[in-house]
Amino acid sequence: MFETDRLRLLAELTNECCELNHGPSTRREDFPAVDYIVMPFGYHETEIAEVSVREMVIPICRECAAALAGEEWTLLYCFECCSCQWVARAFSKNRYRHHILWLRGCPHCAEQFGGLYFNDSMTMFGLPAFLSQQPGSMAA
């Protein structure tokens, strides 16, 4: 992400609301965003050089940022339809160890599951997940 894009997003943060699921009968406006999750989608040209084809930027509130940084919750996020669901690790049948599981297709948007991608929220492609923690600029 270029520094100008990063600064523009941070400047617009005061007008954003959290886009993650807070349960039924909740309004986005009740959860003002304090940061963004940034998920770069791309590939490795070499062991050192990475190419980010696009970046998904998701505004999140303080409560969701704390949940992503902690060890109690895992976020399931479909990057095809942008639907998401929180899983409490203590009550889950599965032993989740990652903070975010990225789904390519989910029951809401696809008849065929397209894949599962995961990462820890603190390191994505060697960069912090939260926009406010990312370094100044990325060289292409």
Q: How far apart are alpha carbons 74 and 100 in whole angstroms?
A: 6
pLDDT level of residue 43 (50, 70, 90 thresholds) = low
Residue type, 126: G
Q: Report CA 19 to chain centroid distance, whole Å.
A: 10
pLDDT, tens digit (0-9, with 9 covering 90-100), for 62-117: 999 999 888 899 999 988 888 999 999 999 998 888 888 888 888 788 777 777 77
Q: Pick the residue with more confidence: 13 or 54?
A: 13
Query: What is residue 102's predicted lDDT score, i.e. its pLDDT?
Result: 85
The whole model's pTM is what? 0.74
Phi-psi label, residue 138: left if phi above 0, alpha if psi -120 to 50, beta otherwise: beta
Q: Is the pLDDT confidence value at 31 over 90?
A: yes
Is the Cβ–Cβ distance between 50 and 69 less than 8 Å? Answer: no
Query: What is residue 13's predicted lDDT score, i.e. its pLDDT?
Result: 85
Domain assignment of residue 29, yes or no: yes
Counted domains in the chain? 1
Domain assignment of residue 138, yes or no: no
Domain assignment of residue 72, yes or no: yes
Domain assignment of residue 139, yes or no: no
Query: What is residue 108's predicted lDDT score, i.e. its pLDDT?
Result: 80
pLDDT level of residue 38 (50, 70, 90 thresholds) = confident
Q: Strand 33-44 relative to strand 116-119: parallel, antiparallel, unpaired?
A: unpaired
**Helix H or strand E segment including 68:** helix 62-69
Query: What is residue 125's predicted lDDT score, i.e. its pLDDT?
Result: 36
Domain assignment of residue 15, yes or no: yes
| Domain span at 118 | 3-133
Is the alpha carbon torsion for 110, 64, 130, 117 positive or negative? negative
Residue type, 75: L
Domain assignment of residue 140, yes or no: no
